[in-house]
Amino acid sequence: MKTVKYLFISFVLICSAPGCMDLNVPPVNVVTDDVIFGSEDGIRSFLARVYGAMPIEDFRFNHTNGINHFYAINPFSCLTGEAISRDVGGANTETHTYWSEAYSIFRDLNYFMETAPSYKDKGGFSDAQMNQWLGECYFIRAMTYFAMVKRYGGVPIVTQVLAYNSDRLEELDIPRASEEEVYNQIASDFDEAYKLLPEQTSVSRANKYTAMGFKSRAMLYAGSIARYNVTELFDPNTQKRLCGIPSDKAQNYFKQSYDAAKLLEGHYELYTKAWSATDKDAQYKNFADMFFDASSPENIFVREYGYPYSVHGYDCYNVCLQYMTSTYAAETNPTLSFVEMFDGLPRKSNGQIQVYDEDGYYVLYEKPMDLFANAEPRLRATVIFPGDLFKGEALEVYRGIYKVPVGEGITRLLPEGSTELYNSVPDIASRILMSTNSQTQETITDNAGNSYNAAGASGVFNNQGVACLGGFGLRKYMNPDMPADLVVENRSDQNWIELRYGEILLNRAEAAFELFLMAQGEQYRTDAYNCIRQIQERAGADIVPAATDITLDIVRKERRKELAFENKTWWDLKRWRILELEQNNTLFRSLMPFFILNENKWFFDDRLDETNKRYTFDTRWYYKSIPSDRINESPSLLQNLGY
């Protein structure tokens, strides 16, 4: 009992002891302004955090999980027809909500811009340093508003730190600005950044030209909205147009986009380190290598990754089944519809691939790669053809083995437009051996005694999720040198190139051509032609003969081909307002190789996606719905149409 008494007394003494100290000391568990703003290291840590939070749609982004998510299955490219995935059932819009994250960034940046300059003397910073940091804040703010406006249309513009006062909460209820005002804010923030930023920085931090590069992208979007959008939504309280921009503003935006893109000329160039005008293999290698060369003169803005601190799982999720180490594979399966956009393939008059001879029989090939002998090198660097080498191993993709004598030839397996599963057509199942999954591969032996699997090591199987679905593997950004045992989640660390000079040329070409269409002068068409020509030459594509042959379709198609699988295409289709035309109960096409037993030959069947994924785009999705909890908090936010 005595012990308890002593314990109690010492407890009281200990508790009262702090009363003797001066309580006016900075709390050690809160980082105060002078720690952050008073030293270069503090500012660097601040900027690193906002750069990290800046909305970049990279390896760790998709339309369901949003930005900076640790895994990214359900690939974004499977909303555009570029690819299909077992995890994407059809057309969709983004289902993640990106709202409060953006306003946290705005607050951080506004706070920095209001506070940091007063620490200039204390920290001993030079004008150049302070300008760079402020310029970066303007840059990131513009990037973040751009991420908002392309989703929602007009959003509340906050350019200063809002004070929280629980008695006057209604002051924080800021109505949406017009879509036009947001784009103008973005333009002025990029312009401010251009003034403040230095000429050169590391490629993962913004410089003058980074700001102008992104400005060319944002203004191109604004111009397209002004020109092609038909949705109108006005806020009766503010009389502002929340969705849509008056069409007479289009020309000004395209001009701004064009001028910004032109400023980058001479500061960056297309990557051609391994390129040769006459060698298709070199062109292929050049385009594939571009995404892995840190010293590429084409890189304008890069999000850097590095194991083990900052990683993603792009290789793990997208590698073909035969290279699989984990339980993930083949999330992104390029479609034939996508592949058919490229040059160098045998074609029918309607532009689709020609796999039949004049008599209507399938053309037989010695090797699967023979069909792609003349394919555009950029395509080969974007998808893996059946039989092409990846990691020193041929991609083995085929649907089945034709086991009966060919006779005069093989006529088409399914009627045009059929979505039937091959296995469920008795006539096909009796002639072709197929496997439902890789665990139960069936085998067949030819006359010479060689045994063959019924389907390729990567598929195609009709009942196995991780099998190849479209007939092609994904090549772009896939690391060809990654050892098999490292192909697991959160192990990849290749950099994401968010902006490269190729896109700048395409921005410039599109803006120029739109200006030409608005009768702004022949020189714009010539300039568009020159930009497109540079892209096509580097890609090894067919070159448009002359400036007078350029059409808007050619400009757009070039963009889709060049920037495929870089998470840009969905936004492009959206701003051109053509998604509902492209995706109207649409099935994409796939290409299925078959091996012919005893002949040692191959044929290809072009067909509608066997997994029957139908795509229908809902025009309401041109403007995303504003999260309802934000409206509850801020009642003056008007919801977009149709939600």
Partner 1 sequence: MKNLKYSLICCSLALLVFYSCVPLDNYDMPEETLKGTVYVAGTNKTESIQTEVSDQGVRIRMLEYSWSDNPQPFDFYAMQDGKYNNTKIFKGNYNICVAGPFVPLQQYDPSGNLTVDGSITRDIKGTVEIDWEVEPFLKIEWVGEPVVNAAKTKITASFRITRGTNNPNFQQNVTDIYLFVNSSSYHVGQHNHDNRYSGRLQGNAAQAAFATGDVITLTTQGEFSPERDYYVRVGARINYQTEGQQRYNYNEPKKANVLSN
Residue ranges that bind partner 1, judged by CB under 8 A: 230-231, 233-237, 239-240, 415-417, 419, 584-587, 614, 616, 618-620, 622-623, 628, 631-632, 635-642
Tell me how far apart the alpha carbons of residues 249 and 19 are, in angstroms, rounded to a whole number.
67
Q: Quick count: other Cβ atoms within 10 Å of Cβ 196? A: 21
Q: Which is nearer to partner 1, 526 or 611 (CB)?
A: 611
Q: How much of the chain is helix, strand and coil, in % rounded to 5?
A: 40, 10, 45
Shortest distance (Å) from residue 587 CB to partner 1:
7
Tell me how far apart the alpha carbons of residues 494 and 316 are, in angstroms, rounded to a whole number.
12
Contact between 298 and 268 under an 8 Å Cβ cutoff? The reply is: yes
Q: Which is nearer to partner 1, 170 or 199 (CB)?
A: 170
Q: Which is nearer to partner 1, 3 or 451 (CB)?
A: 3
Shortest distance (Å) from residue 274 CB to partner 1:
43
Shortest distance (Å) from residue 390 CB to partner 1:
35
Look at the block and give the residue holding tokens 């020609």.
Answer: 354
Q: Which is nearer to partner 1, 19 or 236 (CB)?
A: 236
Shortest distance (Å) from residue 246 CB to partner 1:
11
Residue whose C-alpha is closest to residue 78's, from 499, 487, 588: 588
Tokens, residue 597 = 């037993």
Q: What is the DSSP letter of 77?
A: G
Shortest distance (Å) from residue 136 CB to partner 1:
36
Q: Sign of the CA dihedral 394, 397, 400, 402? A: negative
Shortest distance (Å) from residue 615 CB to partner 1:
10
Q: Which is nearer to partner 1, 512 or 637 (CB)?
A: 637
Can you list the alpha helix ranges (DSSP code H) found in 21-126? 33-37, 40-53, 100-115, 120-123
Look at the block and give the residue holding tokens 């139960």.
Answer: 440
| Burial of 112 from C-beta contacts in 10 A (0-12 / 13-18 / 19+) | buried
Q: Quick count: other Cβ atoms within 10 Å of Cβ 4? A: 8
Contact between 624 and 640 under an 8 Å Cβ cutoff? The reply is: yes
Shortest distance (Å) from residue 236 CB to partner 1:
4
Shortest distance (Å) from residue 618 CB to partner 1:
7
Q: Which is nearer to partner 1, 525 or 624 (CB)?
A: 624
Q: Which is nearer to partner 1, 453 or 634 (CB)?
A: 634
308 upstream amide cis, omega within 30 of 0: yes
Shortest distance (Å) from residue 406 CB to partner 1:
27
Tell me how far apart the alpha carbons of residues 66 and 200 are, in angstroms, rounded to a whole number.
31
DSSP 386-440: TT-EETTEE----SEEE-S--TT--B-SS-TT----GGG-HHHHHHEE--SSGGG
Tell me how far apart the alpha carbons of residues 83 and 486 are, in angstroms, rounded to a whole number.
25
* End-to-end C-alpha distance for the chain, whole angstroms: 70
Shortest distance (Å) from residue 64 CB to partner 1:
20
Q: Quick count: other Cβ atoms within 10 Å of Cβ 76? A: 25
Q: How do 451-453 and 443-445 pair as beta strands?
A: antiparallel
Taking each helix axis as running N to C, give the angle between helix 40-53 and helix 127-152, from 0 to 180 degrees, rounded to the nearest 10. 20
Residue whose C-alpha is closest to residue 391's, from 310, 502, 479, 318: 479
Q: Which is nearer to partner 1, 222 or 587 (CB)?
A: 587
Shortest distance (Å) from residue 611 CB to partner 1:
16
Tokens, residue 234 = 């006005």
Q: Sign of the CA dihedral 237, 106, 567, 190? A: positive
Shortest distance (Å) from residue 411 CB to partner 1:
16
Residue whose C-alpha is closest to residue 355's, from 338, 343, 372: 372
Q: Which is nearer to partner 1, 109 or 155 (CB)?
A: 155
Tokens, residue 549 = 């042959």
Q: Which is nearer to partner 1, 207 or 583 (CB)?
A: 583
Q: Which is nearer to partner 1, 165 or 632 (CB)?
A: 632
Q: What is the DSSP letter of 232?
A: -
Shortest distance (Å) from residue 604 CB to partner 1:
21
